[in-house]
Amino acid sequence: MGMSVSPNNLTVTFKQLDQAIDASMPQIYQRFYQLTPVKTGNARSNTSLNGRTINGNYPYAAVLDAGRGFRDGQMRGSVQAPNGMSQPTIDYAKQVILQKLKSVGL
């Protein structure tokens, strides 16, 4: 079985991909938010979604995302998010977006 691609078909496919990503972002953001470790609540309260970008607006965002955290006055591996937040969220996003694309026949 062959497949032909015309400029119109390609445009529709990219539009559907864009729509699938946009429709998935709130769900993807929720996953990132849930993976964000909680000690005082500062990290979660300063995590936001802006379009397709999840922002961690706190000075130790990179530390938490590296699966690290401060415990007992020392830098240690994070118990709550040992794999950080970004990579698990990216893996989850791939699944969610693929499910949305399959639901529209792509």
The model's pLDDT over 13-64, given as tens digits with 9 standing for 90+, comes to: 788 888 889 999 999 999 999 999 999 999 999 999 999 999 999 999 999 9
Which residue do the tokens 């309260």 mark? 45
CB atoms within 10 A of CB 89: 21
CA 87-82-38 angle, 5° bins? 100
Please tell me the distance from the alpha carbon of residue 96 to that of residue 23, in angstroms, as a whole number: 10
Please tell me the distance from the alpha carbon of residue 18 to that of residue 60, in angstroms, as a whole number: 31
Residues above pLDDT 90, as percent of the chain: 61
Q: What is the pTM of this model?
A: 0.82
Please tell me the distance from the alpha carbon of residue 63 to that of residue 70, in angstroms, as a whole number: 9
